[in-house]
Structure 1
Amino acid sequence: MEQDLERSEEKVELSESKIVELEEELRVVGNNLKSLEVSEEKANQREEEYKNQIKTLTTRLKEAEARAEFAERSVQKLQKEVDRLEDELLNERARNKMLQEEMEATLHDIQNM
């Protein structure tokens, strides 16, 4: 019976030592889990920040595109106005040249009288 008792005590010691090892491993796993939870929370916060940045940048992009379209339309209108004014200038130069020629002819006629 003493031998059985000794064997049982050895088994108990081995089991207790195994329990201590398992408790230590459980503590390490628990710490790792806490660390992972903190990392997950930080990752979720970063993800939320990125979503907000994307939303902000998307809004700014749409606004920039709208301003670009407006600017393009304004440029087209201004180009039409420039073309119209250039045509008007050419017409006025032609009219001026014609009047100048008329005046020269008139002066010539006056001088020849």
Structure 2
Amino acid sequence: MVEADLERAEERAESGESYVARKLVLMEQDLERAEERAEVGEGKIVELEEELRVVGNNLKSLEVSEEKANQREEEYKQQIKNLNNRLKEAEARAEFAERSVQKLQKEVDRLEDELVHEKEKYKYICDDLDMTFTELIEKN
């Protein structure tokens, strides 16, 4: 009986060993798969970190571009303001010049009318003088 117990114990030990060996093989396979997944995951992490670095650099570049664009926009706004002021000044000068031209034209018209009137007076005086000379000559 001891022998039978010993045999049974050996059988159980052998079956336990084979169970443990199978379990060990399965665990080693699981470990290999987990290590492969970890390597793939680490590769993805490296890729994502590189992509994040590129995106960060692009963001910095965009921020710099935005700042430059904002500066140009402010400069353009200032230029527009200056040009609008100059336009208003030019329009005011043009209106003043127009009024001055109208006044001068009125003055020219008045002087021309006066000149015509003075010419008529001169002609009348000349005619009167001619008549006076003619009368003097005829009397003599």
Answering whether residue 5 of structure 2 is matched by residue 5 of structure 1, we say no
**Match in the other structure for 2:87:** 61
- TM-score with structure 1 setting the length: 0.99
Give a deviation string over 1:16-58, Cα, whole Å, max 9, x none: 0000000010011001100100000000000000000000000
**Match in the other structure for 2:49:** 23
Which of residues 10, 27, 42 is equivalent to 2:68?
42
Give the 5 Å matches for 1:32-111. Answer: 32-111=58-137
The whole-number CA distance in structure 1 between the counterparts of 2:138 and 2:43 is 137
Structure 2: stretches of 5+ with no match in the other structure: 1-26
Q: Which runs of 4+ in 1 moved over 6 A?
A: none
Letter in 1 for 2:73: E
How many equivalent pairs are there?
Answer: 113
Letter in 2 for 1:96: Y
- TM-score with structure 2 setting the length: 0.80
Give a deviation string over 1:65-97, Cα, whole Å, max 9, x none: 000000000000000000000000000000000
